[in-house]
Amino acid sequence: MSSWKLMLRQIVRNPLSLAGVIIIFIFITLAIFAPLIAPVPEGHRDPYLIPHDGYSITPQPPSEEHIFGTTQGQYDIFYGCIWGARTAFRVAFLVMAITILIGLVLGSLSGYFGGKIDEVIMRITDVFLAFPALILAMAIVASIGPSINTVIIALCVVWWPSYARLIRGDILALREEDYVEASRGLGASSARVILRHVLPNAIYPTLIMASLDIGAVVLSAAALSFLGLGAPEGYADWGQMTEFARNWIVGPQNDPLKYWYAVITPGVFILFFVLGWNLLGDAFRDIFDPRLARR
Amino acid sequence: MELRAYIARRLLLLIPVLFGVTVFIFAITMFFSPTERATLYVTSPQGMRDLPSIIEQYGLDRPFFVQYGTWLNQVFHGNLGWSNVVSMPVGRAIFHYLPATLELAIFATPIIILTGIFFGSRAAAHKDKPVDHATRVVAILGWSLPTFWLGLLLMMIFYGYFRGLLPPGRLSSAMEIMVTSGDFIRYTRINTLDAILNLNGPVLLDALRHLILPVITISTVNVAFIMRLMRSSMLESLGKGYILTARAKGVQEKLVISKHARRNALIPVITVSGYLFAALAGGAVITETIFSFKGMGWWASQSALRLDISSVLGFALFMAVMFVLVNLVVDILYTRVDPRVRLGGGVQ
């Protein structure tokens, strides 16, 4: 309990960390209360599909009816941005959870047993790390077919190797600790040693890295959507909404910034979501990794 | 370990990596049926009739490893296949699109590394002063910026508001004509470099004008990354005993910072050069696509989008080789900067 209080005090004391907590809290609120903030219109089947008012492709400026305006195809920007928070959380958490799980299993096998298993797993990670992640993810999404779930799968495929390596490294160091030796000396099985003694100590650096990484996951997912390799058309997804704005960057000669609302709004949501996680990640790192703290 | 043996060992390790990368990408494409893959070769509606013969000719319905073996055999004979997206052989496509990407990298890398190191070490030297706070805020904002959105914002300002100031593409059409005319010798296809070699001022200016926005777009995130890294690395090095010793000896603070602290703080920055390479390659995809700056990234993304298998494989092979070579050079450089590190692991 006291350690929680200590953590809270450290977060509140640092204005940047506090800003991170507030930003993420606002996004959590938006995601949870999305149906209240941006009500689903009557008779609308899937709440994640942004309702659209007609089919005209030209974006319309903010009005009483559409407070953030509408983007290409008359999709309501406000609705898309609010429900997009749910999409962002879903992608970020699923990718992180699956990645960490794979990383934990393969990394601990690799680090604890060493030898041939280690060699094989590490060569496999080499293969994945030898290639720009975004392009590999693009190829995967393109071949399975674009959807939110494919984006999640593709990001997991390109993301797990760095976690497997991180965890392996931590475990290699922990394996030599006296308490691990002692437990083994007392006749504990490998599984027990890994699960009870090694992993609990390896998990903190992993979680810190994960909190620092969530922003990057969201950015990559948004980039895939932006390239047309993400959500189906009209899905509440910030990356795709930015893509919709691509044809409307330059307005007519006499009003070049006419469609600013379609370009800027979804990007601001991405920026603040990622910023919030990055600030929070920094805060966690400072708190849990005293070696790096408050430098 | 002896340098030559070390390099040989690392290059040998490249073989399983290349094998793995290509098998993996080849396997991904197997999600598609032979007919779907055959349609990639068809250019007209009438061509659809030839689908069965295309499948037959390229062996698209044979088992996975037979198809992979055929491809590998061709690669050993120097044939990387045909790039449908740009209608030229993959080998030629690589050399056609590489210069544009190299040009981006040539301008972006020094900017990224120098600005990152400069502001990162300044922030650390003035910890908790306004400079430090400003650097941290800028760094974390830059690190959180979606690259594609930044590109769109820059376009909105410079294509819309200041119309015609910084145009898209690699060259204006007038300059494109001049460059392709007989008088202009394209030594490298890197426009700025060629312009200098040809002593052609207008082309140089035009090429630079086209480079500004893409370079800003691709650099921002990475400048922020190096700033953060440099700041924390510098702070760590400032806390070391030898800094205290230097200060106690009465060494000027300026010298302490530049010679004792910064030099040691540079080591992690060199380590991430390999990462920076991958980040630039990924960033090039988005940047080149947005600004229609046709380079490797643009070609790779078009190929991935249209599932042009031989292009993606050719690109993968090339990238993997480059990546391994970059990391090899980084590791060797490392021993020069930090004499304690020995090749092949272990610290003296």
**Assigned domain for A3 exists:** no
Q: What is the rounded average pLDDT of the residues B305-327?
A: 82
Which of the given ranges, A45-49, A75-79, B146-150, B297-301, has the highest pLDDT on average? Answer: B146-150
Please tell me the predicted confidence (pLDDT) of residue A289.
Answer: 63
Check whether B345 has a pLDDT greater than 80. no
**What count of other Cβ atoms lies within 10 Å of the Cβ of residue B47?**
13
Name, in order, each residue with C-beta under 8 angstroms of A282's C-beta and a sequence gap of 6 or more.
A16, A17, A20, A212, B140
Please tell me the predicted confidence (pLDDT) of residue A48.
Answer: 85
**Assigned domain for A72 exists:** yes
Tell me if B21 and A130 make a contact (CB, 8 A cut-off). Answer: yes
Q: How far is CA A266 from CA A22, A27, B158, in A?
A: 19, 14, 20
Q: What is the pTM of this model?
A: 0.87
Please tell me the predicted confidence (pLDDT) of residue A25.
Answer: 95
Q: Which helix (H) or strand (E) holds B82?
A: strand B82-83
**What count of other Cβ atoms lies within 10 Å of the Cβ of residue B94?**
20
Nearest CA in chain B to A142: B305
For chain A positions 108-167, those within 8 Å of chain B (CB to CB) are: 123-124, 126-128, 130-136, 138-140, 142-144
The pLDDT tens digits for B97-141 are: 999 999 998 899 989 999 999 999 999 988 888 998 899 899 999
Q: How many residues does chain B have?
A: 348
A252 interfaces chain B, CB cutoff of 8 Å: no
The pLDDT tens digits for B211-226 are: 999 999 999 999 998 9
Closest C-alpha among B72, B156, B71, B98 to residue B284? B98
**What count of other Cβ atoms lies within 10 Å of the Cβ of residue B291?**
25
Interatomic CA distance for residues B341 and B330, integer angstroms: 12
For residue A156, the enclosing domain spans 8-39+55-288
Q: Would you say the C-alpha torsion A97, A102, A105, A108 has a positive or negative sign? A: negative
**Assigned domain for A47 exists:** no
Nearest CA in chain B to A228: B305
Please tell me the predicted confidence (pLDDT) of residue B348.
Answer: 36
Please tell me the predicted confidence (pLDDT) of residue A295.
Answer: 40
Q: How far is CA B30 from CA A82, B60, B229, in A?
A: 38, 10, 41
| CATH classification at residue A237 | 1.10.3720.10
Q: Would you say the C-alpha torsion A53, A58, A62, A68 has a positive or negative sign? A: positive
Tell me if A140 and B278 make a contact (CB, 8 A cut-off). Answer: no
Mean pLDDT in chain B?
A: 84
* Full set of structural domains in chain B with CATH: 88-337 (1.10.3720.10)
ipTM of this complex: 0.87
**Assigned domain for A2 exists:** no
Q: What is the rounded average pLDDT of the residues B259-276?
A: 80
A295 chain-B contacts, CB cut-off 8 A: 127, 232, 235-236, 239
Mutation site, A131, A220, A241, A247, interface B, largest B CB count within 10 A: A131
**Assigned domain for A293 exists:** no
B299 chain-A contacts, CB cut-off 8 A: none
Interatomic CA distance for residues B316 and B311, integer angstroms: 8
Nearest CA in chain B to A218: B146
Q: Which residues pair with A235 in a beta bridge?
A: A49
Check whether B263 has a pLDDT greater than 70. yes
Q: How far is CA B71 from CA A191, B74, B80, B95, in A?
A: 43, 5, 8, 20
Name, in order, each residue with C-beta under 8 angstroms of A88's C-beta and a sequence gap of 6 or more.
A27, A218, A221, A238, A270, A273
**What count of other Cβ atoms lies within 10 Å of the Cβ of residue B10?**
17
Closest CA–CA distance from residue B194 to any residue of chain A (Å) = 29
**Assigned domain for A135 exists:** yes
B316 chain-A contacts, CB cut-off 8 A: 131
Interatomic CA distance for residues A74 and A65, integer angstroms: 12
CB hemisphere CA count around B162 (13 angstroms): 10
Please tell me the predicted confidence (pLDDT) of residue B17.
Answer: 80
**Structural domain total, chain A:** 1
**Assigned domain for A272 exists:** yes
> A17-51 burial, b if ≥16 CB within 10 A, otherwise e?
bebbbebbeebeebbeebeeebebeeeeeebbbbb
Closest CA–CA distance from residue A287 to any residue of chain B (Å) = 15
Q: Which long-range contacts (CB under 8 A, 24 or more apart) does A95-99 make?
A: A95/A152, A95/A155, A95/A156, A95/A159, A95/A217, A95/A221, A96/A210, A96/A213, A96/A214, A96/A217, A98/A152, A98/A156, A98/A160, A99/A155, A99/A156, A99/A159, A99/A160, A99/A163, A99/A210
**Assigned domain for A294 exists:** no
Tell me if A143 and B307 make a contact (CB, 8 A cut-off). Answer: yes
Instruction: Extract the residue ranges of chain A whose pLDDT is less than 50.
Output: 1, 292-295
